[in-house]
Amino acid sequence: MKRLVALLLFVALAAPAAATAHATLKSEFPGFQQELQTSPKFVQLHFDQVVQLPVIDVIDIHGVNHALKAVANGTNVRARVRPLPAGAYTIRWHALSSDGHVVSGVWTFGLRVKAPPPTEAYGASGPTGTENLVRWVYFVALATMIGALGFRLLVLRGLEVPPALEKRMLLLAFIGVLGVLEVGIAAFLLRCEDVLQLPFGKFFYGDLSPISGGTRYGKAFIAMTLGFALVSAFVYLAWLLERTLLLAPALVLSLAFTGGLSLSGHDATDPGSSWKSELADWVHISAVSLWIGGLVALVVAVFPAAPGLRREVLARFSRFATVLVALVLAAGTYLAIVRLPAFHDLWRNGYGQVLLVKICLVAVAVAWGGVHKFFPRARVFRSIAGEMAVGLAVLLVAAILTDSKPPPQPVPSSSTSRSAYAGAVGASSWRK
Amino acid sequence: MEPPSEMVHWFFGTGVLMLGLLMLAEVIVGREVWAQRHWRIYLWPGLAFGLGVLMWPVMTFFTNSAIHMVAHGAWAQALMAMGGAELGLAKGKLKSRWWKLATPVGIGVSGAAFLIHEQNGWYFARSAFLHHLVGWTLIGASVVALTLVFRPRSLAMQTAFALAVIALSVMLFSDRDLAPVFGHLSPLAGAPHR
């Protein structure tokens, strides 16, 4: 928790410490996640400027270092390596940059086996409780952003929206997108910190490029950060120019870039994944965000700011939510079938147990919503706030589920290609 | 694929230079004349906001260190916040003059971060020299911007602020030994990098 607070403080306070001058790794041998056929005789790093006092470790899956002493020669650093058996290896390096900062990094390669992603490098720890918490806050922010945008454009369409409600909807969308950006950065840094395994001070000079450019998770982080930054600009311009129409590209971009989660998660990387599981995951996340985010918009914006519209808006949202819940259930059922090889995995496997809790919470939220739809009452504010709270609990369980490892799929007898790290790193499934 | 980092700094140096020149032009002709063409009042805040949006790709694509990533992300947000608040004030969407504090706060936090981050002395290396110089320039600029919140018509303060922004652009142009300005600073500032 202290790490998280320190990270968030740093994100908030550290403005442009444009650390332009410390050494940057420009090329390396073996390459990031390269699969070699013969044992490398040396490891070489090439920097953009002179470095000193280098250290290079070539570590196998048992933690044994196979590298000899590293030697710096101008912008190059080289360490000879003992003959290696086939397997997956992690390279960790440190060097003193000419500006006095110690720069560090990690990457992986495979010798006659597929190289694991750097998120599964030797020494990298799996997702922690802090990461679960951060992911939950991220999901809440995502739902708030998408829910507010969807609510304004789809549920309130054609209604005379009072200025106070308009302001609250825009504020909600802006808080959501700001949260997605900030928490997304914090989550990425926490993941990188787990991989680099450096003390806090040194971590800030750690090279993140193997993770940001060499993993699905890193690429998704880049795309989503850029997309959501654009969303923030559209929401701001919609407020400044008083053009609700500008929220349309914001919603489209939000939904499109939410796909980054689906393209880097279990449903894209685990065995049994396909474009269908990726699509189903995207539909699932989008529909849940519109549904729970819509509940947040009802409680935080519509009820306090537009009392005259409550009945009409509630009826509209009920119809909208019915479609969303149908999508959530259809996509969720499909994904459960893909992820769980056997029905009894639901109660025998840890992933299945978390999924079971999520299913129960969704059932409560759906039943609660059904009461609002079929038994409308004049005073429903507290009841809808309760439904929203259950929705937020669903997101918490979803965050834990995302960081959990699904049960292994039955391996077809003809399948021989697998990572040498499979099963060696515990539950670090977040992500390739 | 990625351009060299000095190219990116020179690109932003150009943007910051334009920002400073626009501010200076407003000071020279006076606010009343400047506002006769209504679109002019949106020029520098709009440019600052746009530079903030363009800073996000720098943050995401240049991840050679965590501090680099965090720093540019924070700078992107500071620029967007500064530009956004000033645009809101110019458009009349924001009424309170306290929104003007977005500029000194953004610049001040940026300067403080430069100084806190740099643990070496001025002459340890070229980068250390620039970090100290940029940090103190930004701290000075934030004090000037803060004064402008309370004395918005002070010609001296307006001029000082515009000149500080122009000075910052010169520092961005000189961030590497290949720089068009200054070249390598001094043998005291470490060996040339390239």
Residue ranges of alpha helices (H) inside A103-215 are 129-150, 163-196, 200-203, 209-214
pLDDT tens digits, one per residue of A200-209: 767 877 888 8
Closest-CA distance, B124 to chain A, in angstroms, reads 7
A59 forms beta bridges with: A65, A90
Closest CA to A128 of A403, A431, A421: A403
CB–CB contacts below 8 A, A to B: 161
B114 CB neighbours in chain A (<8 A) are 15-18
Average of pLDDT values for A317-333?
92
Q: Are B156 and B122 in contact (CB under 8 A)?
A: no
- φ, ψ of residue A419 in degrees (nearest 5): -75, 140
Closest-CA distance, A258 to chain B, in angstroms, reads 17
The confidence score (pLDDT) of residue A4 equals 52
B69, B76, B112 ranked by CB distance to A208: nearest? B69
Q: Give the 3-state secondary structure of residue A35.
A: strand
Task: Give this prediction's pTM.
Answer: 0.80
Q: Say whether B80 and A233 touch across the interface (CB within 8 A).
A: yes
Residue of A nearest to B123 (CA): A99
The structure tokens listed for A255 are: 């939904």
A11 CB neighbours in chain B (<8 A) are 70, 73-74
Most confident of the following: A91-105, A286-300, A368-382 = A286-300
Residue A425: is its pLDDT beyond 70? no
- φ, ψ of residue A37 in degrees (nearest 5): -105, -25
More confident residue, B45 or A423: B45
Angle of helix A129-150 versus helix A275-297 axis, rounded to 10: 70
Sort strands A87-97 and A76-81 into parallel, antiparallel or unpaired.
Answer: unpaired
Average of pLDDT values for B49-78?
87
Dihedral angle, C-alpha A330, A332, A338, A341, nearest 10 °: -110
The confidence score (pLDDT) of residue A9 equals 43
The confidence score (pLDDT) of residue A429 equals 34
Average of pLDDT values for A294-311?
90
Confidence of residue A26 (pLDDT cuts 50, 70, 90): confident
Q: Say whether B69 and A213 touch across the interface (CB within 8 A).
A: no
Sort strands A25-29 and A42-47 into parallel, antiparallel or unpaired.
Answer: antiparallel
Neighbours of A64 (CB within 10 A): 11
Q: How far apart are alpha carbons B13 and B19 in whole angstroms?
A: 10
Residue of A nearest to B57 (CA): A226
The secondary structure of A71-133 as a DSSP string is: EEETTEEEEEE----SEEEEEEEEEEETTSPEEEEEEEEEESSBPPPGGG-TT-----HHHHH
B101: DSSP letter: G
Q: How far apart are alpha carbons B105 and A175 in whole angstroms?
A: 20
The confidence score (pLDDT) of residue B159 equals 95
